[in-house]
Amino acid sequence: MESASAGVVVAWVTLHALALASAWGTRVATGSRMELVMQLAFLAAMAVVGGAALIGRQIDIDVWPASAVTLMAMVIMAVIDLRRAGETAHVA
């Protein structure tokens, strides 16, 4: 991204940070009334980051693998169960 403007770089980093935050938010909101909202935000963020990876790959931007890694991290963050064995889910 050496030829990209500073605004594009900031937007790219912000997009990926918000996408990771949405994945974390789905875990935090489990069982709460915000669960559906966070899941929808997560799905939208996955689509945007996936699109960024695909577009980056198609136009041969060297940082497209970072978008792919962000997408993988989002999926892992959303599905991994971090509770200890035997601990039940907190329902709010």
84 found inside a domain: no
pLDDT at 2 over 60: no
DSSP character string of the chain: -TTS-HHHHHHHHHHHHHHHHHHHHHHHTTTSTTHHHHHHHHHHHHHHHHHHHHHHHHTT-TTHHHHHHHHHHHHHHHH---SPTTPPPP--
The model's pLDDT over 30-83, given as tens digits with 9 standing for 90+, comes to 888 999 999 999 999 999 999 988 888 888 778 888 888 999 999 998 888 766
Confidence (pLDDT) at 30: 83
Confidence (pLDDT) at 56: 83
59 found inside a domain: yes
Domain that holds residue 43: 8-79
> How many domains, the chain?
1
37 found inside a domain: yes
